[in-house]
Amino acid sequence: MMKPIWKSLVLVLLLGGVIGAGAAWWIGEYGPCAKGREPYANMVERFDRKLNLTPDQRQAIAAILDENRQKIKTLRAEVHPRFEEIRTATRTAIRTHLTPEQQTKFDAMQAEWDKKRALGH
């Protein structure tokens, strides 16, 4: 039987993995570079549709978004290694509670998830 602290740790790690996978999916589906879109182009278009921007406003807003895109890219680069560390720890912790047969299936599931994530799904 697992001690309560281990149950909590496994639950937290599993929850982190699920949240991380959901965030990765959302960014791939709706993020600034999703499906070949120009970064932030869809955002400027959406602002224009909803706010009826002037050409000067469109240009200013596009410049603001472009300027901050690099800041976001830098932040993602800083966070990504930690995210991967948590994902790996979560998978490792889950795997320790599985039988060898379940581990094989779990490994296949992970490979499928990783493949989908790499394709931006």
CA 120 – CA 71 distance, rounded (Å) = 22
The answer to whether the CB of 24 falls within 8 A of the CB of 117 is yes
User: In the chain, which residues have pLDDT < 70?
Assistant: 1-3, 28-40, 120-121
Extract the tokens encoding 100.
Answer: 């060898």
CA 87 – CA 66 distance, rounded (Å) = 30
Model-level pTM? 0.46
pLDDT of residue 106: 92
How many Å separate Cα 47 from the centre of its chain?
24
Radius of gyration of the chain (CA): 20
pLDDT of residue 10: 80
pLDDT of residue 104: 94
pLDDT of residue 30: 62
Three-state DSSP state, 2: coil
pLDDT of residue 39: 58
Residues in the chain: 121
